[in-house]
Structures are given as C-alpha cells and as structure tokens.
Amino acid sequence: MNDVLNAIIVDDEKLARLYLAELVAEFPEVRVVATCHDGFEAVKAITEHRPDLVFLDIQMPRLDGFEVLELVDRSALAVVFVTAFDQYALKAFDAHAVDYLLKPFSRDRLAAALAKVRRNFSGGLPGVDLMRRTLRPDEKYLGRIVVRDGAAVTIIPCGEVTSLCAEDDYVNIRSGGGSVLKHQTLASLEQSLDPERFVRIHRSAIINIEKLERIELLERDHYEAVLLDGQRLRISRAGHQRLRELLG
C-alpha cells in the first residue's frame, strides 16, 4: 500500500456522495479517483482503477453493495460500508480491512475508519457471504446470482436457474438464458442457496427441483435427473436420498 490511499465513493444518493467527498477532502492521504451512483458503475470503476479503498453504500439500485464486492477482485481492497441503518455492526471483523460509517457521520468517525483500514490492511477482506450474513441476518438465501464477464454483469434470478455444475474453479450456471461461468466453488455457492429449492444431486451438481422434469433409472442404483431444458445429470446414491427427502 502506498502512502496515498486511492478511494472510490459509491452511493446512489447525490447528496450522500457530496457529503462524503467533502469530508474526505480534508484528509490529504486519501485521493478520490471515482464516484459512482450505482453498483454497475462501481464494478466497472473498481475493475478499472484498482483502488485501495471503496466507500460502499449497501442498499443500492440494480446491484447492492455485497454483489459489487462479489464481482470484483478483493485481494488488495479495503471496504468502508456507508449505511443509514444497520443494527448489526461489523464488529466481528475487527481484524479485517473493513469498517462501517453510519449516516450521518462525523469527521472524527471518518478519521477513525481510515485509521482502522490502514492498521488492518494486511488482514484483507472477510468473505462476502460472511459479511452479508453478518449485516443482513434476515436475508438467509440469495434471491439471485450475479456473474461478471469482463465489464458485462449478468443477473440471474434464482428461480430461473436450472442447474449449477462445478467445473474446476468455476461453477457453470444454467438458466433459461443459457449458461454462464462464475468464479466460485460450488460448495460455497451452495451455502447461500435456498435448500428447499436447490438440492445437490451429485458431488459436482446442484439442481433446482422446480426445473426437474423426471428421474430415470438407467440400471441398478444408477439414476439420472432429466431437467426441463433437456439437460441430463447423474444422481449419486446420496443425492438420490436427498432428492427423495425433498420431494417427499
């Protein structure tokens, strides 16, 4: 990390961006390289500028703060969440490069956040799943999956997903709109999916049971799932057990 922190401000409210920029201007060691008014802009700006720090509003149109973090390279990024109201503070991540500001915040509070970010920079960011669960314990499962390919961001509502298959370090997500690759392990993605709807039928495959057309018995103890889009996936013995439990 250099002596100067390159920072990006992300907030959908103009006055909130203005206020933050005004306060940050008092700290010569921070340089604002971009301000963004929604999540898409933020993903683009973070990818382009590779800032040290992002001031991130959580509740934003189109892409929320967590989704933005999911889609960018977080390896050298510190985050200060800027939010109006969250009972669930990020105290759990005291040793990490993450802090939060509650709107409206004072200059002193901003100074403390910057100091903390500098101090813990090497701690890196906690996992996005963990941050989401800590700040939004009521939202247990993902409503949609976001994928970035270069500068293009795709949003897939979970209801439209037919299957998710592990492919090396990626997950191949099939939906009505075709298939996309997401850089994440299947196991970590599985944790954020609604278990009433998604079932792991095989070590490397999860299906949406609403998209299951039928189960075929090919030979003794060898089952295959046939999905509504025609895809055929092998079902393991344990997977068959889980499917039967879910389907009743």
Query: By the criterion CB under 8 A, which residues form the site for another protein?
Result: 12-16, 18-19, 22, 37-38, 59-64, 84-85, 102-104, 138-139, 143, 155
- The closest of 129, 214, 213, 227 to 174, measured between CA atoms, is 227
Exposure class string for 41-68: b at 16+ Cβ within 10 A, else e: bbbbbbeeeebbbbbbbbebeebbbbbb
- The closest of 186, 182, 210 to 198, measured between CA atoms, is 210
Nearer to another protein, 19 or 121 (CB): 19
- The closest of 80, 98, 90 to 9, measured between CA atoms, is 80
The gap from C-alpha 147 to its chain's centroid, in whole angstroms, comes to 9
Query: In the complex, what is the shortest distance from the CB of residue 14 to another protein, in angstroms, rounded to a whole number?
Result: 5
Structure tokens at 200: 């792991």
Nearer to another protein, 141 or 238 (CB): 141
Nearer to another protein, 103 or 242 (CB): 103
Query: In the complex, what is the shortest distance from the CB of residue 1 to another protein, in angstroms, rounded to a whole number?
Result: 29
Query: In the complex, what is the shortest distance from the CB of residue 117 to another protein, in angstroms, rounded to a whole number?
Result: 21
Dmax over Cα atoms in the chain, in whole Å?
A: 72
Nearer to another protein, 12 or 224 (CB): 12
Query: In the complex, what is the shortest distance from the CB of residue 154 to another protein, in angstroms, rounded to a whole number?
Result: 11
Nearer to another protein, 18 or 152 (CB): 18
Query: In the complex, what is the shortest distance from the CB of residue 85 to another protein, in angstroms, rounded to a whole number?
Result: 4
